[in-house]
Amino acid sequence: MKKTLFYVAGGILIFFLFLSDLNAHDWKNINPKMNNILVDTTLLRATVVTMEPGQKSDTHSHPAHFFYALTDGKLTVHYTDGKNETFDLKAGESGFSIPERPHVTENAGTKQVKFLIVELKEHPYKAPKKSH
């Protein structure tokens, strides 16, 4: 009986850990109609995101990433902690961001917005440990 309970509890824990990781990090599986994945490797994922006016993403987060605006547009980022940020994008504008906390992205403009996002999954270089 204890062994069965242990396995059931362990299975539930693994399920919730998997689910929380999927919700927190797997941008490629949210709103597949607005995401066009160009490259997806162990090191990075490059995605062209297309959002219609008023369209919102599902709640998600990102690892460190680079973005490049393909069109002009206005995006509002709604963080789960209640804070909001609005960005006026200009085509050709780019930037880099540290890992992002959970948020919903909304096209707050009046026209379609397109941008490229390149997420860094892991860094291939590992600094050698210093010996004492």
CATH fold of 2-120: Jelly Rolls (2.60.120)
Over pLDDT 70: what percentage of the chain? 71
Per-residue pLDDT at 50: 96
Mean pLDDT in residue range 53-79: 94
Per-residue pLDDT at 20: 37
Per-residue pLDDT at 130: 75
Sign of CA dihedral 55, 69, 33, 25: negative
Mean pLDDT in residue range 16-29: 44
63 is written with which tokens? 């690892």
Instruction: Return the higher-pLDDT residue of 103 and 131.
Output: 103
- Domain ranges, ordered by start, for the chain: 2-120
85 is written with which tokens? 């940020």
Per-residue pLDDT at 100: 86
Quote the distance between the C-alpha of residue 132 and its chain's center: 39
